Amino acid sequence: MMVLSGQFELFISTSFIFIVLIEQRKQNVHTSRFIFVNMNKTWEDAQSYCRKNHTDLASVRNQSENEELKKTTMSSYTWIGLYRNSWKWSDGTAQLLNNWAPDKPSNIATNACGTIVKGKWDNYVCSAHWYFSAADVEDCLMDVKLVRAFNTGLF
């Protein structure tokens, strides 16, 4: 079950109903979730490296994350987890933010992998060798508070 910060969850057993407030707070003050990897690899090799040593290639869900990613990349082309399968991220999430450079994506039949350059997305042939940006899952602690328990009277 996926839990969002500050979300109430309802749990029902045979004799009690539990309403639980789940809050999320960061364990560390701030750590970047994006890691620039100073190696030249194809998109597929970069993805394999990231999945073995980190979590996956970098995925961007909002403008704030894109700005954070921009700070960690150099001005040259850098692989990110975007690929053309209806343009989604290699971690399986949908592409919600549109941050393509002007007139991009282009030549999508051959340029099926995503890059970032100067904070804008571009697409390129997947066999090219570029640096890449990995993503690590942020450590966090979950505070679980029992808000209320009701006896259902079933047992």
pLDDT digits (tens, 9 = 90+) for 76-116: 789 999 988 688 898 888 888 889 999 999 988 889 999 99
pLDDT digits (tens, 9 = 90+) for 129-146: 999 998 876 655 555 555
The residues near 84 (Cβ < 8 Å, ≥ 6 apart) are: 105, 108, 111, 112, 113, 123
Q: Span 32-137: which CATH code?
A: 3.10.100.10
The pLDDT value recorded for residue 15 is 47
The pLDDT value recorded for residue 12 is 47
Write down the residue that tokens 């040259």 correspond to: 76
Domain ranges of the chain: 1-30+140-155, 32-137
**Which long-range contacts (C-beta less than 8 Å, at least 24 apart) are formed by 73-77?**
73/36, 73/116, 73/117, 73/131, 73/133, 74/36, 74/131, 75/117, 75/118, 76/117, 76/130, 76/131, 77/115, 77/116, 77/117, 77/122, 77/124, 77/128, 77/130, 77/131
pLDDT digits (tens, 9 = 90+) for 26-83: 444 334 488 889 889 999 999 999 999 888 899 888 888 888 888 888 767 899 999 8
Per-residue tokens: 142: 């979950």
Band (152; pLDDT cuts 50, 70, 90): low
pLDDT digits (tens, 9 = 90+) for 2-40: 334 445 444 444 545 444 444 445 444 334 488 889 889
